[in-house]
Amino acid sequence: MRNSFIKALMEQARQDERIFLLCGDLGYSVLEPFAEAFPDRFINVGIAEQNMVGLAAGLSLEGYTVFCYSIGNFPTLRAMEQIRYDVAYHDTNVKIIAVGGGYAYGPLSTSHHTTEELGMLRTIPNMVVTAPGDPAEVDAMTAFIAQHRGPCYMRLNKAGEPRLHAQPPALMLGGIVPVRVNHGATAAVFATGDMVGYAARYLEKSAPHIDLYSFPFVNPIDTAQLAALAARYTQVATIEEHQANGGFGSAILERLHDLLSDGALARLPAVRRIAIPNAFVGSAGTQEFLREKMGLRLDDWHATLS
């Protein structure tokens, strides 16, 4: 995903001289092509993520579209105050990019796990919060947020993810992307971020009759599309590499209940949230190991449908 991001950003930068990239002393072997192609629009700020976000807000007020790039929790949890006051409050044109969402840096333990930021950021006014599901969605989302006026956040996994879409999907703000759809299916998985790839592999092998939708937008979510899906399916599982409290599954439940109370839905589907229990993981290990340890799998929910 990170390689897809930098290639897509360079394409946008060739077309728009306002695009500026900041990094927090990382991205080696990834960001060099941008730095070499656009040396006047790249700064390595150093290990100073809060300063990076403040600098980004200032550059934005001078007319730039500024991308801040760092590892998972550092440009988000560490800089949440700056995101809230400098970026979102002033509605600046700053894009926070976090590589290594969830447990992607699992061997480095809790200090490098990024499992709360979606919930925190989606509560901040003016913030568009995104988590593309594969490199094709990263291509599309990078172009989208580069052209969208206002604060955005994009969570990336890391590298090596397979493409689920032959071409980058067309994205509208809050849009939902179908990955696999069967005629007459009554159950579906709603996934965000790299859990879309996990869900696609699981369903292809074990449950080809269940549909899958990627939610590259965690905030906002298109309510008309969501209402149509809720009316279509009786059983839904949401899956995310994030704490259960306040995350993607919570956002789905909130919007579904709002649709019901507003009269836009006649009934609610049965929804199972699959997310990280609201606890720190006490182990270090690979992303796959930590996902399994924390129960991020579809088989238990799938078993209840049989």
Query: pLDDT tens across 160-172, in order?
Result: 888 999 999 999 9
Question: Do 7 and 146 fall within a single domain?
Answer: yes
Instruction: State yes or no: pLDDT of 306 exceeds 80.
Output: no
pLDDT tens, residue by residue, 220-252: 999 999 999 999 999 999 999 999 999 999 999
Instruction: State yes or no: pLDDT of 122 exceeds 90.
Output: yes
Q: Give residue 95's pLDDT band: very low, low, confident or very high (50, 70, 90).
A: very high
Question: Do 146 and 291 fall within a single domain?
Answer: no
Q: Where are the beta strands (DSSP E) in the chain?
A: 19-23, 42-44, 65-71, 94-99, 128-130, 152-156, 177-180, 187-191, 211-214, 217-219, 235-243, 270-276
**pLDDT value of position 158:** 86
The CA distance from 258 to 268, in Å, is 11
* Per-residue b or e along 220-232, where b marks 16 or more CB atoms closer than 10 Å to that residue's CB: ebbbebbbebbee
Instruction: State yes or no: pLDDT of 30 exceeds 90.
Output: no
pLDDT tens, residue by residue, 165-220: 999 999 999 999 999 999 999 999 999 999 999 999 999 999 999 999 999 999 99
Asked, for residue 39, whether it belongs to a domain, the answer is yes
More confident residue, 257 or 161: 257
Domain count, the chain: 2
Range of the domain at 209: 177-305
Specify the residue for token string 């991001």. 5
Q: Which two tokens stand for residue 198?
A: 């996990």
Asked, for residue 161, whether it belongs to a domain, the answer is no
Question: Do 227 and 144 fall within a single domain?
Answer: no
